[in-house]
Every structure is written in structure tokens, then in C-alpha cells.
Amino acid sequence: MNGKNNIAIGFLVMGLFMAYGFLLIYLRDFAPNAKEWAESYSNGKHFESRLAHVHGNLFAFLNILMGYLLLHFQDKIKNTKTISWLALTGLLMPIGILAELYLGMSPILVLIGAIAMTASVVWMGISFLNFKNINND
């Protein structure tokens, strides 16, 4: 079923990145080096972690929204499976940022995820532009 996995995985990933937000709050306010962490707001690990947190929640929300739309308009949109998989692959972007930050990995996952999510969003937009009569359900 195209879209169902986007919704389910989107909610799960959003929950994980929301929980990651609690870790960021701890690091900013309660950790032993909280002052240094807060002072590095716009650079280094602090910036990268916030970037992952924001993009993780945004891309999770995009998956929820796109999954819903794919389910609702599956008879009017072509290539729903491809759009669905591209959106899910887009989640590699924020995961890749964390992998870079904590594991020292290359940014390849970030690039793959960013390209996949952008492609899925553009493809979805084109699909909606191609609707002949969206109000005749």
C-alpha cells in the first residue's frame, strides 16, 4: 500500500527526532559543559545537531503528508510507489547528519537523502499539476 509506510515511518522518525530534541535541551541547559555548548550555538557540533533535529522533523512531517496524499489520490497519481520510496529515502539526510556528527561518516547519506526528498517533493508537485479535475471525486 503506497503511502501507509510513509505515514507510519514518518511518525516514528518524528518521535525519535523529538526525543533527540530533549537531548539537545539537556546539553544546552543541564549538562556539565552546558555553558560552552550554548556558546557554540552557530558552529560545530551544536549547529550540526540542531540541523539534524530540524530536518529530521521536517522530513518526517513531509513523509506523513505525502503518505496521506498518496493514499488519498492513489488512483490519480502515477508512480506512487516511486514517490513513496523517494520520500522515505529522503530520511537519510538527517540520519546522515547525525552519522557524520557522531560516527565521523562521509556526507554521502546527506546528499542521497537531500536529492531523494527534493525529487519526491517536485514529482508530487508535478503530479498535482497534472490533475485534470481535482474536485470531481
| pLDDT tens sequence across 53-87 | 999 999 999 999 999 999 999 999 999 999 999 99
Main-chain dihedrals φ then ψ at residue 13, nearest 5 degrees: -65, -40
Which of the residue ranges 19-23, 38-42, 104-108, 122-126 would you say has the lowest mean pLDDT?
38-42
Confidence of residue 45 (pLDDT cuts 50, 70, 90): confident
User: Pick from 59, 65, 81, 78: which is nearest to 128 by CA?
Assistant: 78
pTM of the shown model: 0.90
In order of 14, 45, 78, 81, 100, the CA distances from 131 in angstroms are 30, 44, 11, 18, 40
Name the residue ranges covered by the structural domains of the chain: 4-129
